[in-house]
Amino acid sequence: MRIYSWKEFTDKKPLSGIQCAITIGVFDGIHKGHMELLRQVLSQGSGIQSAVFTFRENPATYFGGNYRGDIYTLAQKVSAFEALGIDNVVLIDFSADFVKLSGKQFFSILRASLNLKKIAVGYDFKCGYQNDTDSSVIVSMFKGTDVDVQVVPEYRYSGVPVKSTMIRTFIQVGELNILPELMEFGYSIDISGHRSPMLRSDTTQVLPPAGSYSLQLYDRGEYRNASITASDEAVGWEFI
């Protein structure tokens, strides 16, 4: 899997001329709804590469508000893409310059930088300055071209749409047992570079409340089973 920054993608055009099926999004946690999008770009067969356009940091951190933290760190997210067989990942820095791009400008840049064959977006997808471009606009934008636009409907669990906000809530209240049913790779805490106990303020991840848990830890590319003891200030662990 090849990883590019947005600047590298636009300036050096490493995918220039390469036929690609792409999807775009935050992809925090890689839940079952995300998988419906990723399968669309992984199912194109020989000659068409898959590419995921995502963000180095969650755009919610740029706008502030009540953002509660990441489900996955960037390392976990990239590791998940690699495990799925994604060919290319472009990491966008959600900067003051990027946020000024209209949706039309964004897709014009994509078309100039690769041979766009397919776009898969969610039913609630929006992009561009002040969210000026939604899935219906994208469909209209590419109508009559050789670009296949697939709008993926919502994925439901027990009748409820699966979203990253739902998963964050389950983690915050300690309802971890349900997460394997909602997430492709489950929930784990990234302890790379940390010692036990790790202060909550030392990670961007959303963590469970005070209590004892059995779950996996992600440490420099490896997953290990552990017993977790969480307090209001920190999270400690012992490997099983």
According to the model, what pLDDT value does residue 60 have? 83
From residue 25, how far is each of 29, 153, 195 by CA, in Å? 12, 15, 32
* φ/ψ (deg, to 5) at 51: -145, 130
Q: Are residues 51 and 136 part of one domain? A: yes
pLDDT tens string 5-37: 999 999 999 999 999 999 999 999 999 999 999
pLDDT above 90 (res 225) = yes
From residue 186, how far is each of 112, 128, 178, 192 by CA, in Å? 37, 31, 9, 18
pTM for the predicted model, two decimal places: 0.94
Q: Are residues 119 and 100 part of one domain? A: yes
Q: Are residues 143 and 51 part of one domain? A: yes
Give the domain range for residue 168.
162-239
Q: Are residues 18 and 127 part of one domain? A: yes
Q: Are residues 177 and 136 part of one domain? A: no
pLDDT above 80 (res 66) = no
Mean pLDDT of 103-128: 95
pLDDT tens string 149-204: 999 999 999 999 999 999 999 999 999 999 999 999 999 999 999 999 999 999 99
Q: What is the dihedral of CA 170, 166, 79, 125, to 10 degrees?
A: -170
Could you tell me the two tokens for 208? 């469970």
Is-contact 217 189, C-beta < 8 A?
yes
Q: What percentage of the chain has pLDDT greater than the value 70?
A: 99
According to the model, what pLDDT value does residue 97 have? 87
| Beta bridge pairs of residue 88 | 2, 51
Mean pLDDT of 66-95: 94
According to the model, what pLDDT value does residue 68 have? 84
Helix, strand or coil for residue 55? Answer: strand
Is-contact 167 72, C-beta < 8 A?
no
Q: Are residues 28 and 88 part of one domain? A: yes
Q: Are residues 8 and 115 part of one domain? A: yes
Split into its structural domains, the chain has a count of 2
In terms of DSSP H, where are the helices of the chain? 6-11, 32-42, 59-63, 74-84, 103-113, 135-141, 164-172, 179-182
Q: Are residues 196 and 129 part of one domain? A: no
Least confident of 45-49, 190-194, 228-232, 233-237: 45-49
